[in-house]
Amino acid sequence: MSAASSSLADKRLAARRRESHESPRGPPFPDPIYAPNHHPDDAFRAAVAQGVAPHHWPFGPMPAQPSVDDKELEAIIAYVRDRQHAAGITHDPAH
């Protein structure tokens, strides 16, 4: 992943997520619940396009993000998958 993609993803995700379970704004992406076998890339695309109601965490809903274009979204997905891989998360054992 390029440094620009990582920086872009960092900026977008920082507003919603933190890598700590202590975040008051949203859950961490380096968590097995977001592994590709539970939340495939299309789940991220749908969440950005349509928004998402809370269903795994006690945080409020995430509205649709119309300002995120396709190129930016793909960079964010790649970044999340890279962070998961670095954390050793390859699948959600519950699914």
Domain limits of the chain?
3-86
Residue 59 structure tokens: 């945080």
Give residue 24's pLDDT.
58
What is the length of the chain?
Answer: 95
Residue 84's CB is within 10 A of a number of other CB atoms, namely 19
pTM: 0.71
What percent of the chain shows pLDDT beyond 90? Answer: 34
What are 39-67's pLDDT values in tens digits? 999 999 999 999 988 888 777 788 899 99
Q: What is the amino acid identity at position 5?
A: S
Residue 57 structure tokens: 């965490």
What are 78-88's pLDDT values in tens digits? 988 998 999 99
Give bridge partners of residue 52 from the DSSP assignment: 62
Please, are residues 83 and 29 in contact by the beta-carbon 8 Å criterion?
yes
Phi, psi of 62 (to 5 degrees): -105, 120
